[in-house]
Amino acid sequence: MELNDEFGIWVENLTFSWHKEATVLKSCSLNVPKGQFWMLLGNNGSGKSTLLRSLVGLLKPQEGTFKLDQPVGFVFQNPDHQLVMPTVGADVAFGLVEEKLSTPQVRLRVKEALEAVNLLDLERRPIYALSGGQKQRIAIAGAIARHCQVLLLDEPTALLDPDSQLELVKQVHKLVKSRGITALWVTHRLDELDYCDGAFLLENGKVVAKGDPKLLKKQVKS
């Protein structure tokens, strides 16, 4: 796979093992074109979460290379693992600390990000008072506030009810298209493939199929 500027996410031959007998990723390669919304499909244990955690530096692969457009936003399966401040606005602002922005700049970024996920009216709401779907949207707003070029989402609908699941995937699709973000969304739900540009199928740590989500959906069902 040749590295070039067409891809916002580029991964080649990534290998990760917990120990010699537990290889999770096996020469895993994939690329996502800039500004497109792709999904990573696979059963539990196929290596999906390990791949995303490797791409954001939470795990260190033993082999392989990767390149992502910066900055990168990462959304966990459980938003409670990344929402750390007491209120919505404060949590979105927290991710901007390292950018050393002025107070008016921070306020503008927070407002823009919350508007993008349709939650501006909840800016002063305590985090504990939010629904699961709202918490996920706040986590996404944190990435939007940082003007992320790449957005990685690790099964963000796993803890949501069916209606909230589809609402979230539709909203992320709209966001990445309107802002030109490159996104990779991990899932095991076939119905979510209806909202992406393309998809990868991961089995035993390797990409075994990729391309048109409709065709991939048929392949998995057959």
pLDDT tens-place string over residues 169-187: 998 999 999 999 999 999 9
Instruction: Tell me the pTM.
Output: 0.91
In tens digits, the chain (222 residues) has pLDDT values of: 444 589 999 999 999 998 877 889 999 999 999 999 999 998 888 999 999 999 999 999 999 999 999 999 999 989 999 999 999 999 999 999 989 899 999 999 999 999 999 899 999 999 999 999 999 999 999 999 999 999 999 999 988 888 888 888 998 999 999 999 999 999 988 989 999 999 999 999 999 999 999 989 888 876
Strands 198-203 and 206-211, bridge-based pairing: antiparallel
- As assigned by CATH, the class of the 1-70+149-222 domain is alpha beta
Contacts of 72 (CB under 8 A, 6+ apart): 55, 56, 148, 149, 150, 151, 152
Please report where in the chains the tokens 């998995």 appear, as a residue.
Answer: 220
For helices 162-179 and 132-145, give the axis angle rounded to 10 degrees. Answer: 10
Percent helix, strand and coil across the chain, each rounded to 5? 40, 30, 30
Domain ranges of the chain: 1-70+149-222, 83-147
Average pLDDT, the chain: 92
Find out whether 198 and 38 touch, Cβ atoms under 8 Å: yes
Give me 91's structure tokens.
Answer: 């949590």
Phi/psi zone of residue 35: left (φ > 0), alpha (ψ -120 to 50 degrees), beta? left
